[in-house]
Structure 1
């Protein structure tokens, strides 16, 4: 699309125009108090927005190591009476995917409200090809009291620097995120990472985290999380976990999934003896309507998972559970994806709404986590 066409569309509809920060701003690093950054377990140690340690304690597969720089699941939380909030971002790359909006790949989105009551309020916007940008997230009336603001990091790019812009006169305090609740750790695929949500807060792990008022650690690795032993040895070091959700089936062949799933779960369990584990089978793909081999392959992988969970339960581990991915998208699952595989926003919302009661029941049943 030409620059002239973009300008024409923006002239016809002002809602399509980029919203640049105007006026006077004070720019804050979220690495400083009173801001709280969530979603990066090794942030205090490494001081980088990265989902795995740098360097890792165990050598990681090259693709996983690179994808760990993507900031899916990260959050900035704070309280303010600011009537407007902006973001200044530097990225390692630009948006490059042809089937996922740039706002999901490299954008931040904003929510306001206390834990469990957050409501979406705005998304950062940028020009095509940009690797750094400033964007107004929202503006409105000045509230009569401080409100909690949550900013979700981009899903498919590395953020090398981010600054939060507030009016100079705005009050700023720390957000009291529930400290009595642990983390939800999601391990899986591009779908887990958030492909192809239109903005970060709509990825299904983030939706679940908001509803269950818990920090999310998103360890979805696009095409690359395959139940590797070295990855399990790193993930099991993450403390304060209330539930570990395993959803990597779609990254593997049936043979590889059958060969890796049990060792992966056993390695995690060696260090995290009481953390409940939920194994989720993959969602159906649209092509299964005309391709019986694809459907049969998914059924075989589901059999592998269900039999393993049953085996571990019978051996005495009653904190391993299974969720059938066939049911996550509901009827007309074919309308829930961008490309027949990756969910659109409807698909992610259906996944979250289906998984929330499952995870809630697990949390209630296994409430005596060892970290408390």
Structure 2
């Protein structure tokens, strides 16, 4: 009986501590950035009701919060979060952090965004400390949302009495990146390691993640949706999902439609990464090679037809040359994404300078 009383006392004490901790954290919602369009659903990348003719799978994937983020300033010594996602299972080639979690960066003394912590989840609604034991100087925070799930809600918590100021988008211009699961972020270890996010932090430019896993097939309806935006640059990194036949049938309409609606906006075409599978798997070798050969042919045909301000990043080493840049033979790991960013960044910046966009 005495032992039971001690256990109950300890249990009540633990509950009191937890209650006190929660009581001393103040939660707030924040504006969400990283979108090409305003959306009625805060955590969706595209208004799928407005663009109702998009393929069903594409509409679903644009409810995923890939590339979206919040930003604020605070002197809190710990940063907390309460967030809800869906009940989908974690994929075999993703971490729970990348698919359903949150990823924190802090601007360091050199003015660079530096990784500070992350949390994954395998439940629909979670509450967690994202980073703690910070000194109490004011800092700028950047928190990326899940790459491969629909964020239903998000509240950021700080200690009661700490300063808290929502910030405007730290990234300038708008670079719309349409592409496959690779653009969406598979298989980064965490949301901040998708190549669009890496490029934004490196350059201070807003690389907008419009990746749709397995579904970047250059449908006309997608071209119409993209053309309704007003980005400073279009990047088309959609070849991995498009068969050689689809590349042949759809590329010219897709690019020509964007050009007709945006006469002076640079359009950058990026070939598929060379899948590591393709070095030994001859079926993938043939498909990968034919996809990229056809994409370049379409680029050359478009230029011959007089399409201006069109650029092609001609590279077969986007993942490097040591064959260690993927998680599963197709999707980049963090190393692969860093290498992609290394090649894409100077190419994009040179074009933007050429067009007086920087």
Q: TM-score, normalised by structure 2?
A: 0.88
The answer to whether residue 90 in structure 2 is matched with residue 100 in structure 1 is: no
SS in 2 for 1:224: coil
SS in 1 for 2:54: coil
Which residue among 293, 296, 301 is the counterpart of 1:306?
296
Bigger CA drift: 77-86 or 194-203?
77-86
Partners of 2:80 and 2:215 lie apart in 1 by: 34
Which residue does 2:56 correspond to in 1?
62
Question: For 1:299-337, what per-residue CA distance to the aligned partner results, in whole angstroms no more than 9, with x for missing partners?
Answer: 33222222332333344434111113412111113x111
SS in 2 for 1:149: strand
Change (3 A) 1:143 1:242: farther
Aligned pairs for 1:103-114 (under 5 A) are: 103-113=97-107
In the alignment, is the contact (CA less than 8 A) between 2:100 and 2:120 conserved in 1?
no
SS in 1 for 2:59: helix
SS in 1 for 2:199: helix
Partners of 1:229 and 1:138 lie apart in 2 by: 44
Q: CA deviation at 1:189?
A: 0.6
Question: For 1:156-195, what per-residue CA distance to the aligned partner results, in whole angstroms no more than 9, with x for missing partners?
Answer: 000111101111212122425457x311211111111001
SS in 2 for 1:231: helix
In the alignment, is the contact (CA less than 8 A) between 2:319 and 2:332 conserved in 1?
no
SS in 2 for 1:294: helix
In the alignment, is the contact (CA less than 8 A) between 2:178 and 2:237 conserved in 1?
yes
In the alignment, is the contact (CA less than 8 A) between 1:40 and 1:49 conserved in 2?
no
Partners of 2:268 and 2:20 lie apart in 1 by: 43
Change (3 A) 1:213 1:95: farther
Number of matched pairs: 339
SS in 2 for 1:38: coil
Aligned pairs for 1:237-252 (under 5 A) are: 237-239=228-230, 241-252=231-242
Which residue does 1:344 correspond to in 2?
333
Which residue does 1:39 correspond to in 2?
34
Partners of 2:242 and 2:35 lie apart in 1 by: 26
Partners of 2:41 and 2:274 lie apart in 1 by: 39
Aligned pairs for 1:1-372 (under 5 A) are: 22-23=21-22, 24-30=24-30, 36-43=31-38, 45-113=39-107, 117-126=112-121, 128=122, 130-144=123-137, 146-177=138-169, 181-239=172-230, 241-333=231-323, 335-368=324-357
Q: TM-score, normalised by structure 1?
A: 0.85
Partners of 1:149 and 1:216 lie apart in 2 by: 18
Partners of 1:54 and 1:298 lie apart in 2 by: 31
Q: CA deviation at 1:153?
A: 0.8
- Computing the radius of gyration over CA atoms, which structure comes out larger, 1 or 2? 2
In the alignment, is the contact (CA less than 8 A) between 1:21 and 1:134 conserved in 2?
no
Q: CA deviation at 1:87?
A: 1.0
Partners of 1:177 and 1:221 lie apart in 2 by: 23
Change (3 A) 1:299 1:125: closer
In the alignment, is the contact (CA less than 8 A) between 1:184 and 1:215 conserved in 2?
yes
Q: CA deviation at 1:242?
A: 2.4
Question: For 1:49-68, what per-residue CA distance to the aligned partner results, in whole angstroms no more than 9, with x for missing partners?
Answer: 11111412351101001111
Question: For 1:207-240, what per-residue CA distance to the aligned partner results, in whole angstroms no more than 9, with x for missing partners?
Answer: 011111122321111111210100111111122x
Question: For 1:243-283, what per-residue CA distance to the aligned partner results, in whole angstroms no more than 9, with x for missing partners?
Answer: 21101111121101111111111111222222211111111
**Structure 1: stretches of 5+ with no match in the other structure:** 1-19, 31-35
SS in 2 for 1:364: helix
Which residue does 2:6 correspond to in 1?
none
Partners of 2:56 and 2:315 lie apart in 1 by: 28
In the alignment, is the contact (CA less than 8 A) between 2:34 and 2:68 conserved in 1?
yes
